[in-house]
Structure 1
Amino acid sequence: MTDLTLTQLVLVLLIFVWSGFVRTGLGFGGAMMSLPLLLLVDNRPLVYLPIIAVHLLIFSTLTVWQNNRQRVATAEKKPSTVDWVYLKKSLKIMIIPKLIGVAGLLTIPAQIMSAIIFVIISVYSVTYILNKPFKSSHPVSDGIFLSLGAYISGTSLIGAPLIMTVYMVHVAREKLRDTLFVLWFILVSIKMVAFLIAGVDLQLQAHLWLLPATAIGHYFGLKFHQRLVSADPIIFYRVIGTALLLVSTAGLVSVYW
């Protein structure tokens, strides 16, 4: 990244602040809401994907650890902030599609697959904005969405919104973000192993100045999430639905830009 101009460097820094805010505030969308912007500044996805992955590993771990540490320290008889039961159940569905995506064993045109997924997400997001969400009573449809999301997260880092639509139905809102963070940690760890095997440059020097930028966004994201969870459930789901719609719109724009 040493070949970027000063203006580009400032823009990249601000985008990573935004990425940290979105990821911590909502629990998803940090990569999808920042990657299209980063590619407008400098169209080299393999430069930014490892950085985004490392930041996700660091700040997801920090957030979940802090939340559960506070719960133990105050001796509160509250359940874990992570829904381990549904996490384990969903991972059994996602792990094989994830590995297939990482290995690139299936050749599906990226534009077609991405467009289909973003359209599905857009439909789901509108139902949450209108407070008439789909309530899937069929594990088959959940399995399809989880599998597709895991596969796409294996080929890139943009499967989160599709997985999110399923998790919103099955996980309590106060546990939603931390459960997603543990899931992202597992899925991104697999992706990082693939990066290492492929010899992708992890841009370690860039972390020295981008980690503080993401930390700033992370701090304000924590404040936003606290207000979001304590808000009326209708407001909570409308905010999440709006975020999903923005993510899918940004995704469609980046696919056909």
Structure 2
Amino acid sequence: MEALALWQTIAIFFVFIWSGFVRSGLGFGGAVLSLPFLLLIHDKPLVFLPLVSVHLLVFSSLTIAHPWIKDLARGQQPAFESNINWLYLRKILAITIIPKLLGVFGVISLPNDVITNVIFAIVLIYGLSYVLQKSFVSNHPLLDWVFLILGGYVSGTSLIGAPLIIAVMARELPREQLRDTLFALWFILVSIKLVAFAAAGIDLQWQAHLWLLPAAAIGHVLGLKFHQYSLKVEPKRFMQWIGIALIAVALAGLLQY
């Protein structure tokens, strides 16, 4: 990562705390709820996408393994029970994998300002849906395919396709299986993206992880605690405030061009 002003360094550190919090707390949003803030601080999508991708790999793995780690810490034999619905995961992957690859090719080949504007436009739509409490809902097999294909493509270009994919998965999976199955899906899709970045010679920002992984770890721990709370209540007001922030940031970003 190129040299940054002190305020940019501090702001990026706190955004990655936020990123870790929403990722483990909600099961999605590590990119969509943090990338627009990062782009306002430093307008370089291909700087932040590898960082967010690696963080997602690390903390999705830790979240899935968290019950086993707790058992080991208590001196108990790990149960090795999983909340991942592997059969359903294979079905989702079969639909999203090709759009994902097309999206990865797009983010590598498109100009920086085009990628940035696309990200802000998508985030604006998500923000409006959160404020109006009109989340994406699929109730027809054909619409399922549309959402999954679009979600795979958007995930390939910018890692922010989660709300479209969740519109399908949230309806078909029990709530206790949703987060971990999503994390398993993100792990596979993001691994593909990182391999493509490396093959294209894009800097994966390994040095920046030394100071940003701890930031994401702080948010990760806080998010695990929030997730336990969110299983008992429906945090609609929380998501509305997030929506307002996303709309403000997206509009500010779009007005820069």
Question: How far apart, CA to CA, are the structure 1 residues paired with 2:89 and 2:227?
Answer: 21
Q: Is the 8 A contact 1:27 1:177 kept in 2?
A: yes
Alignment match of 1:97 (pick from 93, 96, 99): 99
How far 1:50 sits from its partner (Å)? 0.5
Tell me: CA distance 1:183–1:240, structure 2 relative to 1, closer, same or farther (3 Å).
Answer: farther
Question: How far apart, CA to CA, are the structure 1 residues paired with 2:164 and 2:154?
Answer: 9
**Count of aligned positions:** 247
The residue that corresponds to 1:9 in the other structure is: 9
Partner of 1:29, secondary structure, is coil
Q: Structure 1-normalised TM-score? A: 0.82
The residue that corresponds to 1:59 in the other structure is: 59
The residue that corresponds to 2:163 in the other structure is: 161
Partner of 1:205, secondary structure, is coil
The residue that corresponds to 1:204 in the other structure is: 206
How far 1:161 sits from its partner (Å)? 1.7
Question: How far apart, CA to CA, are the structure 1 residues paired with 2:35 and 2:147?
Answer: 22
How far 1:187 sits from its partner (Å)? 0.8
Q: Structure 2-normalised TM-score? A: 0.82
Tell me: CA distance 1:116–1:44, structure 2 relative to 1, closer, same or farther (3 Å).
Answer: closer
The residue that corresponds to 2:20 in the other structure is: 20
Question: How far apart, CA to CA, are the structure 2 residues paired with 1:224 and 1:120?
Answer: 21
Q: CA RMSD in A?
A: 3.2
How far 1:249 sits from its partner (Å)? 3.1
Q: Does 1:171 align with 2:173?
A: yes
Question: How far apart, CA to CA, are the structure 2 residues paired with 1:65 and 1:224?
Answer: 17
Partner of 1:30, secondary structure, is coil
Partner of 1:211, secondary structure, is helix
Q: Is the 8 A contact 1:33 1:250 kept in 2?
A: no
Q: Is the 8 A contact 1:26 1:240 kept in 2?
A: no
How far 1:42 sits from its partner (Å)? 1.2
Spell out the pairing of 1:26-65 with structure 2 (5 A cutoff): 26-65=26-65
How far 1:242 sits from its partner (Å)? 3.7
Partner of 1:32, secondary structure, is coil
Deviation string for 1:18-43 (max 9, x for gaps)?
11001110011111111111111111
Question: How far apart, CA to CA, are the structure 2 residues paired with 1:44 and 1:226?
Answer: 35
Q: Is the 8 A contact 2:20 2:30 kept in 1?
A: yes
Question: How far apart, CA to CA, are the structure 2 residues paired with 1:71 and 1:95?
Answer: 34
Spell out the pairing of 1:121-200 with structure 2 (5 A cutoff): 122-123=128-129, 126-127=132-133, 134=137, 136-200=138-202
Tell me: CA distance 1:166–1:117, structure 2 relative to 1, closer, same or farther (3 Å).
Answer: farther
Partner of 1:161, secondary structure, is helix
Q: Does 1:249 align with 2:247?
A: yes
Structure 1, unmatched stretches of 5+, are none
How far 1:245 sits from its partner (Å)? 4.0
Deviation string for 1:181-236 (max 9, x for gaps)?
1111011111101100110111111111111111000000000001111x14xx25
Identity of counterpart residues, as a percentage? 49
How far 1:243 sits from its partner (Å)? 7.5
How far 1:85 sits from its partner (Å)? 2.3
How far 1:256 sits from its partner (Å)? 2.2
Q: Does 1:218 align with 2:220?
A: yes
Structure 2, unmatched stretches of 5+, are none
Question: How far apart, CA to CA, are the structure 2 residues paired with 1:205 and 1:199?
Answer: 16
